[in-house]
Structure 1
Amino acid sequence: MRALFLAGAALIAAPLSAQDHSAHKPQAQQPEAEMDHCAMGHLPPEQCPPKKDEAEPKPMEDMGDQMDHSEHDMGGDKSAPGAAPESAVPQRAFEGPRHAADAIWGEQAMASARRQLAQENGGMKTGMVMVERLEARVPTDGGDTGYVWDAQAWYGGDINRFVLKTEGEGEFGGELEDAEVQALFSRAIGPFWDLQAGVRFDPEPDTRGHLVLGVQGLAPYMFHVDGALFLSDEGDLTARIEAEYDQKITQRLILQPRIEIEASAQDIPQREIAAGITKVEPGVRLRYEIEREFAPYIGVEYEAKTFGTADLARANGEDPDGLKLLVGLRAWF
C-alpha cells in the first residue's frame, strides 16, 4: 500500500514540474508600463509630444520656390483635431445650379422666399422716437425759469431712413423764444456715420425756412456727434454742432458731458446774431435709468453768447451768459 501511494505521488509531481513558471515571477520584477496620458486625453495638446508621423520631417522636392507654405498659416486652424480644416470646401459645393431649390419648389415660389429672407435679415423697416432732452432750466442768477425740448424720430432700414428732428426753448408763463422742425433723408455712408439732407422750418422767433446738410454718428472714443449747415431762404448760412459722451458710473447711473456750438457766416440783425461763433453751451447731466427707456436726470449748463453776438446782447440790456441748473427727462420708445 505504501508503495502504491509513493508511485501515485510521483506521477502527480511529474506534470507539475514540467509546467513553465516563468510568467509567474513577482510583480516587482517586471518593468512597469508607463501610462500614456496624452493618448487618454488627460492633457492639453500643447503639453503632449508630436505624433510619430508628425515629428518626422516631410520630404521637400525643392528648397526654393517649390516649398509648400500652406501649413504656415498665421491665423491657425481652429477646427477639431482630425477634422477637415476650416478652409476646406468640397468641390461639389460649386457644382449644380445657383438656386437648386427652384427645381423642387419652382422659381416663382423661391424668388418670393428669397425676398422675404433678405428683408428679415437686414432689410427690415424699423422706427424709434428719442426724447434727448425735456428739461426745466433754473438760472442761478435769479432770472425766469425756462424749458427746453430736443427730440428726434426716424423710420427706415439700416441704410436709408427718414428722420424728423425738433427742438426749441422758452420761458414758463412766457412766449416761445425759439423753435424748429427738420425733415431729413438720412443715408449711411459708413458703419458709424449717416449723411443727412432735407429742410428745416422755424416758426419762432420769425418764420423762416432752411435747406439742411449734415452728418450724424459715432466718433472715435464713443462721442455722439450731430452737426449741420443751414442755408435760409434769406441767404443766411449758419451751422451747429453738438457732441455728447455717456460715461457709465454703474449700469443705470450715467454721467453725460455735452457741448453745443453755433456759428454764423454773416450778421443776421433780425435774430441779433453777429458773424462768427455765436453761442457755446457746455454742460453735464447725471441721469438714472429707472428703465432703459425712461431716465430722469439733473445737471448744470453754462450758456454764453460770444464775440459780436455777446456785444449785441449787452447793447440790448441782456446778460450774454449765465449758469443754469437742470432737471429733466430722457426717454425713448
Structure 2
Amino acid sequence: MPLILTEEQTMLQEAADGFLADNAPIAHLRKLRDDRDPDGVSRDLWRAFGEMGFAGVVIPEAQGGLGLGAVEAGVIAESLGRTLTPSPFMGSSILSAKVLTDAGSEAQQSWLPRIAAGEAILSLAVDEGAKHAPSRIATRAERSGNGFRLNGAKGFVLDGHVADALIVVARADEGLTLFLVDPKSAGVEIERTAMVDSHNAARVTLTNVAVDADAVVGEVGGGEPVLEASLSLGRACAASTLTGAGDQAFKITLDYLRTRKQFGKLIGEFQALQHRAAHLFTELELARAATLGALQAIDAGREDAGLAASVAKAKAGRVAELAVQEAVQMHGGVGMTDEFDVGLFMKRVRVLNELLGDVGFHAEQLARRQGF
C-alpha cells in the first residue's frame, strides 16, 4: 500500500489543521497553563471536537462516530502535535474507545456516543511504575460476592482527574482483566499530576474499590488481547503526535533560519546549518512513513501491526527528539526562553516519548520478537 494519504484523508488533515489553528493554537495551551486552570483542558473545545466529528473518528457510525480507521485517527493526532493542544483525544477517543468498541457490553458501549459528541471523557489506567510496563500489572482484582474488589495504584492516567469513567487494568486469578470504574466510587483517590509539558495526567489509587461483575469489560482473564489492540493503536497515534510536533518545530526553525541574521548574513545561508536542516527533513519523512505504515497495518488487521506500531513509536520518538534539540540549538540561547515556542515543543516531546513506552521499551519489544 502506498505510504501516502488518500484525497479524503488529506481533506481530513486540512480540516483538523485549520480547526486547531483557529480554535486551539499554542496560545490556548499557554492560557490554560498561565491561568492555572484546575482542569488543564477545555470542555468547550472538547465538545467542539465532537461537533467536528474528530472525537468519534474510530467509533462506529452506529454509536455516533465517523466509523473511520487508524490512519484517520493518526491524521488528527498529528494535527494535535502541531499545536500542542491539551485534549482528551488520546485517552478517550483512542485508548478507551478502542477497548469499549472491541469488548464492551451494550451498556458499556453507551459511553461511545458521549465520547463521540465530546460530552464525556474516559481514561485508560494502565501504568503503575516510572516506566510503561503493561506486562507487570500489580493491581489486584479479588472476587467479592458477585463482583470484585480492586486494590492498587496507577500513574500517568491521561486526563484521569477530569474523567467521567476509568477503564482499570487489573490482575485477577484468571489473568489480566479490564474494569469500567466510576471515579466517584468509594476507595478511589485521584490526584492531578503537574507535568512538564502542561498537559494532563493523574495518579489513581484504588483501595478496596467494590465493582459488580458487569463492570468487567470483555471476559475475566481475557483482557490482554483487548488491551494490546488498544495500546497498539495508541502507540501509532502517539507516533503521529510526535511526528506532528517534530515537524512543526522544524518549520519554526526554518522560519528562524530565513530571518535571523549573523555577521551580516542570514544564518540559513551557512552550509553547516543547511546540512543539519536537510538531514532533519529526511529523518522526519522516514518517521512519517513508518508511522503511516503502522496505522495502515492496524487498519488491515495484520498480525505484525503491534510490531509496526513499536517501530513507529521508537522512530518517531528519536526523530522528534532530534527535531526539538536542533530547534533549540539553531535558535541559540533564546530557544530555551518561554517567549519562544520551541521550548514548549521540547517539553511535549519529552513527555510523549514516555507515553506508552519509550524508545528502549520498543527496542526491547522488537528484539524479543526477533528471538534475542
Normalised to the residue count of structure 2, the TM-score between the two structures is 0.21
Q: Which has the higher contact order (CA 8 A, sep 6+)?
A: 2
More strand by share: 1
Normalised to the residue count of structure 1, the TM-score between the two structures is 0.23
More helix by share: 2
